[in-house]
Chains A and B, each alone.
Chain A
Amino acid sequence: MAVEFYRPMRLNNLNSSLQQEIREACDTDVEMCLECGKCTGGCSNAHIFDYTPRKIVQLVKMGAEETLMNMDALWTCVACHLCVDRCPSQINIPRIMDYMREKAYHQGVKARRPNVELFHELMLDSIKQTGKVAETQLIIKFNLGSKQYLKDADLGRRMFFKGKLSPFSPNVKDINQVRLMFIRTPVHKEG
């Protein structure tokens, strides 16, 4: 009958290749991190993140892939690029975020912000179908899919009367060329 005792994490048990994987896939070496916090200090959404940029870099060093793929911050990063621009070591945090999110998504990890994931998916669906994004249809599908039927109803009305809601759904002629990309993207092949 095993009882769970708290033990601190044992650093010499860390045996992760995540740092190397990030170095190759994202062309960025987290070893260069000075741990100065300039990234987090200016991050647009750090105040709502569960793990802030500096911590995310530390998580890569620790090989904490599960944590990275399951964090809320993955879905609320605005990709403003203030972090990488200010980092004295130019660590490409936006790219790391994209990479971990892509990995999590294609491994079927449940997104912490299902609505954000849904919106991205609907946008990609539209591109796969028509090659472009028809904003009005996208918003309607999103409201339906996220069960927020009356969301932005008043705003929608205002925009309609200003002629900002176009009913048209433009198409790319050589749509097969676009659809091919969706089928042949390497991520899908692995997944």
Chain B
Amino acid sequence: MDIAYYPGCSLHSMAHEYDQSTRLVCKRIGIQLHEITDWNCCGATAAHSLDHHLSIGLSGRNLAQVDDMKLNQVTTPCAGCFSRLKTASGELKKAPMQGEIEEMTGIFLAGAKDVEVTHLLQLIIEQIGLEQIQKQVVKPLQGMKLAAYYGCLITRPKAVVQFDDPEQPVSLDRLLQTLGAETVNWSHKAECCGGGFAASATEIVVDLGGQVLEAARQAGAQAIVVACPMCQANLDTRQRAIEVDRGITYNLPIIYFTQLLGLGLGFTAKEMGLNRLLTSPSNLLAVSMV
């Protein structure tokens, strides 16, 4: 299948391994990604926090380009970008808003508003299917005990996203099980990691991210699997600070689901960029002998 691809700013910098693994994996499972030629930042938290119209406009420009590419669907691995694009798509479907944003941006948005926005996890689950993935698994993730972490924006707000269940999500768990891993039942699979406050109010991330790590540890997880570069950054880069704050050692690698999917499909750890994680996954990889 052909689909527009919106990587988002962090996938081209800090979360480069997420982009890397996404591209390799998608090619293998039959998703042809077409990166939006001149995409701009979706505005993330900053735009919707200070300027609603700007936030919609920034996403509108991206959606309009998808339409110009003659594609009717866009996917992104970043939960934040997904939330912004999908919200904008919904807002643009309301007549007064579409007109206001067109006036503001000078961009014609009639086609843009009909572009379907799908998070990469959702795309794989709904449009490729676990059965298909199962067929292509060559190196099952045997012996891995993983905590599937959904964070906030892949399933919420329910009225906008309508994917999986926001309170008891199972899609990522099922994907990891299809890859041969065991997933733990844990309390914080859909609780917030602290969002965009890593730099500007670090104590919030240390608090909320810390609760997530603690819940994963108590459930016996060896690693946490994520589908958002913000969750990854919060739980990985702030893990030392959380350990200091709580006086507990976690040593929990925070891994992008595409990296594990790639391992299952036969790519090497290096190809999947697993060496770029701050909290090393080497123990985990040794356990499963992948």
Contacts and interface: CB of A to CB of B under 8 A. Distances in A.
Interface of A: 44-45, 48, 75-76, 78-82, 84-85, 90, 94, 98-99, 101-102, 105, 113, 115-116, 118-121, 123-124, 126-127, 131-136, 138-139, 142, 146, 151-152, 155, 158-159, 162-166, 168, 170, 172-174, 177-178, 180-182, 184-187
Contact of B40 (A48, A119, A178): A178
Contacts, number: 178
A173 B10 CA distance: 19
A79 B158 contact: no
B200 interface: yes
B240 A155 contact: yes
A163 B13 CA distance: 9
Given A115-B201, A135-B10, A186 B104 contact: yes
Tell me the interface secondary structure of chain B in the complex.
helix
Contacts of A172: 38-40
B40 A158 contact: no
Given A134-B13, A155-B240, A177 B61 contact: yes
A116 B152 CA distance: 20
A170 B12 contact: yes
A85 B157 contact: yes
B53 A185 contact: yes
Given A170-B12, A172-B39, A120 B157 contact: no
B38 A174 contact: yes
B48 A98 contact: yes
Given A44-B208, A127-B58, A177 B107 contact: yes
A78 B13 contact: no
B100 A186 contact: yes
B197 A132 contact: no
Would you list the 5 A-B pairs with minimal beta carbon distance, nearest first?
A: A119-B200, A123-B46, A80-B192, A81-B156, A120-B46
Contacts of A139: 199
Given A81-B157, A127-B46, 19 more contacts: A76-B197, A76-B204, A78-B192, A78-B195, A78-B197, A79-B49, A81-B152, A113-B200, A116-B200, A119-B200, A120-B200, A142-B200, A164-B13, A164-B14, A177-B61, A181-B104, A182-B54, A184-B105, A187-B54
Contacts of B52: 98-99, 102, 187
Nearest to B195: A78
Nearest to A167: B13
A60 to B, nearest CB: 17
